[in-house]
Amino acid sequence: MDRPVTSEAPAITTDIVLFTLRADALQVLLIRRRNEPFKGMWALPGGFIEPDEPLEDGAARELEEEAGISGVYLEQLCTFGRPDRDPRRRVISVAYYALAPADGLTPRAASDAEATGWFPANDLPPLAFDHDEMVNTARERLAAKLGYSTIAVQFLPERFSLGDLQVVYETILNRPLDKRNFRKRMLAIGLIEATRDERRNGNHRPARLYTARNPGEVEIIK
CA atoms of 17 and 95, how far apart (whole Å): 8
Note the CATH number of domain 158-212. Answer: 1.10.10.10
Kindly report, residue by residue over 58-89, the tens digit of the pLDDT: 999 999 999 999 999 999 999 999 999 999 99
| Residue 29 in this model has a pLDDT that exceeds 50 | yes
Q: Dump pLDDT digits (tens) for 143-199.
A: 999 999 999 999 999 999 999 999 999 999 999 999 999 999 999 998 999 999 998
- Cα dihedral 215, 72, 218, 207 sign: positive
Q: Which residues of the chain form CATH 1.10.10.10?
A: 158-212
Q: Where in the chain is the domain with CATH 3.90.79.10?
A: 11-146
**Predicted confidence band of residue 27 (pLDDT cuts 50, 70, 90):** very high
Residues of the chain with pLDDT > 70: what percent? 96
Given this model, what pLDDT does residue 1 score?
A: 43
pLDDT value for 181: 97
Question: CATH class for domain 11-146?
Answer: alpha beta
